[in-house]
Structure 1
Amino acid sequence: MNRNPPPPPALTLAATAFAALGSEHRLAILRRLVRAGPDGVPMGELGLDVGIEGSVLTHHLKQLVSAGLVTQKRDGRRILCSVAFGQIEGLSDFLLSQCCADRGGHDKGTRHG
């Protein structure tokens, strides 16, 4: 059995991202941004959609941006928030990269089942 842990930087990045997701509010924000797609959502609209506004929204977004899960860009007077889809896919790959590694040879290469 090969039980080599991922290199520390990958483990640290994943832990940071999952820690940022350890809030119902931040999960709601992320899910709303996923629904919006790569174009994102203006910050004010995002706050209304998830029921969080002002400094509380800013705090949660700061955590998600710091973890690399959300990006923000200025569009005139608005701030557009978007999911960093590459990071989200990376987290999924991180979780599933060793799926079924401890199974016998007949199922090797199958992710689920």
Structure 2
Amino acid sequence: MRADTAAAGFAAMGSEARLSVLRTLVRAGEEGLIVGHIQARTGIAPSTLNHHLRSLSEAGLIIQERDGRSVINRANYVQLEALAGFILSECCADAESKAVTHG
């Protein structure tokens, strides 16, 4: 994952409301949720919720799929796992190099 892609993903999660929406969708699983159900679970006003969903979608953190007149929103687990991998990819690298030079 490129650093700019990771930065955009982390920035999209940078508000408490968007993080709440994303966690709600993660909890919902592969079925996803329509906007009304997300609103009911988060308490976020519909117009504000649409703004947050757009931000999460543009960052690739959620996938939106039209189903008739409804839009199903799902967490993009592939992208979320890639973000986690990006931030953890160098975990403890400095600690390991110190152990080698001092060992």
What is the aligned length?
Answer: 100
State the distance in 1 between where 2:45 and 2:74 align. Answer: 17
Q: Which secondary structure does the structure 2 equivalent of 1:99 belong to?
A: coil
Contact 1:44 1:53 in 2 (8 A): no
Q: CA RMSD in A?
A: 1.9
State the distance in 2 between where 1:81 and 1:52 align. Answer: 15
Runs ≥4 residues deviating over 2 A: none
Structure 1 segments unaligned to the other structure (5+ residues): 1-8, 109-113
Normalised by the size of structure 1, how large is the TM-score?
A: 0.81
Greater per-residue helix proportion: 2
Query: Percent identity at matched positions?
Result: 45
**Structure with greater contact order relative to length (CA < 8 Å, sep ≥ 6):** 2
Q: Which secondary structure does the structure 1 equivalent of 2:95 belong to?
A: coil
1:53-89 deviation line (CA, Å, top 9, x unaligned): 3211110000000000011111122110000000000
Structure 2 segments unaligned to the other structure (5+ residues): none
Normalised by the size of structure 2, how large is the TM-score?
A: 0.89
User: 1:48 and 2:36 equivalent?
Assistant: no
